[in-house]
Amino acid sequence: MSSIRTEERTCSICKTSNQFKVLRAASSHEIDLDTRPYGNLRPTIDTWIQSCPVCGYCAPDISIELDQANPIITQATYLEQLQNNNYPELANHFLCWAIIQEEIEHYVEAGWGSIHAAWVCDDVEREDSAKACRLLTLQRFQKARNKKLPFAQEKNAEELILADLYRRTRQFKLTKDICLQVINQNPDTRLKQIAEFQIVLAASFNDECHKWVGG
C-alpha cells in the first residue's frame, strides 16, 4: 500500500513555500518492458515531480538547491515547455526537469525525466506526445552512453530499455537489431526472454505498452 503525505516545501530558487504531495512508501514487483512499475507505485507518478507555482522551477524536490538551475528556468526553451499545450501539465513538469538536467549534462536524469513524461502521456492517451517524449529519451540516453554514463545497473538492461523505446516509437528494425545483439551475448534467461518477446512484438508492428510477465 502506498503512503502519501502533504508536506510543505520551500522552493530553493524563489524561497516561497507551498504544499506538495510527497510519497513516503510504496512497492511494486512487476514492471512494463520500459521499467514502469505496476502495483501501488504506478499511480503515484504525480508525486515524483514538484513544480513551484511562483517561479516555475520543476524538480523531484524543489527544496534541494541546484545552483545551475536558476538561469535555466528563465530561458525561452524552458518557459515554452512549462506552458506547452501539446503535453499534460504533469508531463511538462517532468520535461522541464529534463531540460535542466540536459543543460548541465546529467543525461541519465534527463532521459528518465522524459520517459516519465511519456508515461504521463500514456495515461491520458496522448500518443503523439508520448512518442515525442520517447524520442527525446532516446537522444538523452544515447548522450549518456556516449559519455559512458550508465542508466541501468544490470548488464544488457540498457539495450532492452532502448529496444522498448525503439518499438514504442515504431522503429521496429532497430528494436530487432538491438535485441539480437543482446541474445548473441548470451544473457541470463530472463533478459533473453525479454529480448525474444520484443522481437516478436516488433515483427507484428506492435507499438503498445506491454507488461513483462515472464520469470
- 129-154 residue pLDDT tens: 999 999 999 999 999 999 999 999 88
Predicted confidence (pLDDT) per residue in 60-95, tens digit = 999 999 989 999 999 999 999 999 999 999 999 999
- Rg (the chain; Cα; Å): 18
Q: What per-residue confidence (pLDDT) applies to 31?
A: 86
Tell me the C-alpha distance between 36 and 4, whole Å. Answer: 19
CA–centroid distance for 125 within its chain: 16
Q: Can you tell me the mean pLDDT for 194-202?
A: 97
CA distances to 28, 69, 120, 198, 199 from 193, in Å: 21, 41, 27, 9, 10
Tell me the C-alpha distance between 194 and 163, whole Å. Answer: 10
Half-sphere exposure of 139 (CA within 13 A, CB side): 13
Which residue reads 521499467 in cell numbers? Answer: 35
pTM of the model: 0.94
Is residue 39 exposed (0-12), middle (13-18) or buried (19+ Cβ within 10 Å)? middle
CA distances to 32, 52, 80 from 185, in Å: 23, 46, 43
Predicted confidence (pLDDT) per residue in 153-195, tens digit = 888 999 999 999 999 999 999 999 999 999 999 999 999 999 9
Tell me the C-alpha distance between 52 and 62, whole Å. Answer: 7
